[in-house]
Every structure is written in C-alpha cells, then in structure tokens.
Amino acid sequence: MLGTNPAAIDNDFLATYASFREKVLEARSSAAGADEGNESLPSPPKSEPPSDTLTPTDQIEQAHARLNQTLATELLELMARMDAYKFEQLVLDLLVAMGYGGSRAEAAKVTQKSNDEGIDGIIHQDRLGLDVIYVQAKRWQATIGREQIQNFVGALAGKHAQKGVFITTSDFNANAVNYARTVHHKIILISGQRLAQLMIEHGIGVSTVSTIAIKRVDSDYFEEG
C-alpha cells in the first residue's frame, strides 16, 4: 500500500522508487543496443523495376514504328530534291493508290507546267468521273500559311469546284488550318509527315524488304470436341 495519497501516479512519482528507476535504465539500454545493431546492418537493396516490361509483340510494334519514322524522314529528304513537276506526279500516284478513280490513266492527270491557274493536278473521285478533286502540291520547306490556302480556294472557285486536296512536304500553320475548316469548300490538308506515312502505307516510293508473321496459340485447336 502507498504510504501517502499522491495527487497523481505519474512518472515523476514512480521515479521515487528505486525499482522503477532500474527498469527505466534497463529499457533505455536495450533500445540503444537495438539501434546500434540496426546501424551496423546493411540496408536491404531496393527492388528495381524490370528494365523492359514490354511484351515481345509490343517491342516489335515499337521497332516497326521507329523504322517507319526513319523511312518517312528519308522520303521527305528525297522529295525535297525532286523536280516540282515529278513531285506533282508522285502526289497523283499516291491518290490513285489510295483508291481514287481506279488506274492512274483513268483517274488522274497532271496539269501543264504553265498556265495551271493554281491547280497542280486533277483526279476523279470515282472511276466513272462523277466528281472531280483538284490538287495543289507544294514541295516547300517553309510552312504553308492562310494566304496559300486562300489562293487555292480561289482557284477552286474559278473551276466551280467544291473539293480540293492541298499537299505539302512541309506543314501548315494554325491560321491555314483554321481557314480551311471555315470555308464552304471541302479542303483536305496533308502535311509532309502525313504524306510520307501515306506513301509508306500505300507503297509509293518504297518497297518491302521483309515480312514478319506474328503468331499466337490457337486455343480452339486444343479444346476437346
């Protein structure tokens, strides 16, 4: 029993007892030893994420995309050195390969080098020639602006045409893109990067070196009938 009636039984009161002080000293000594032991142990190595988490199929697709980008760059460099008239022929070859008008002889013609009135090519939308699309092809390094698109729309109006494709080896600025969207004519803008990718997709100016067939397990084959 306690000899007195303390106001509160707290650490200060318990410290008046020798046995309590001994227990506190033992606890502090044990904690210090544990800390020293932990400091001497090497830290466990951090688990690094796998360097490559892509599946083999993903890796092939990434490599294919890189190859296509390199090929597109090479195509743009070659087109930059082409004769302007030959470039117009290339553009029409591409549009025919994309399915406009059937064969090149049936569907497309390149306008004369002079007096083309702002039109570089004419292509039929279908093999019967029910609708005509006018083409402007610019082998430029500078960005195409609104003024060039306005001139093309004016050329279309002079032909009483409603549809046109403006293709360049460079790019279009924001003003040109916005203007093409607002006019009542149907104007399709194809930049250099898009042009190169379309050429790769439709086999214009490129050839296939090799083909890789990706196969998977046919689970239906192994199912019991």
Residue 191 lies in a domain: yes
Can you give the pTM of this predicted structure?
Answer: 0.70
Sole residue written with tokens 């306005």: 150
Residue 22: the pLDDT is 66
Residue 213 lies in a domain: no
Residue 18 lies in a domain: no
Give the CA angle between residues 89, 93, 97 to the nearest 5°: 170
Q: What is the pLDDT of residues 41-74, one digit of tens each?
A: 444 555 544 546 888 888 888 888 999 999 999 9
Residue 25 lies in a domain: no
Look up the domain containing 120 and give its range: 56-202
Query: pLDDT-based confidence at 103, cuts 50/70/90?
Result: confident
The mean pLDDT of the chain is: 81
Residue 87 lies in a domain: yes
Residue 123 lies in a domain: yes
Total domains present in the chain: 1
Residue 194 lies in a domain: yes
CATH number where 77 lies: 3.40.1350.10
Distances (CA, A) of 70 to 64, 76, 142, 165, 200: 10, 10, 21, 26, 11
CB distance 110 to 136 below 8 Å: no
Burial (CB < 10 A; 0-12, 13-18, 19+), residue 93, is: middle
Q: What is the pLDDT of residues 183-214, one digit of tens each?
A: 999 999 999 999 999 999 999 999 998 888 88
Q: How is residue 64 written in tokens?
A: 């294919």
Residue 19 lies in a domain: no
- List residues bridging with 136 in a β-sheet: 166
**For residues 41 and 152, what is the distance between their CA atoms, to the nearest angstrom?**
76
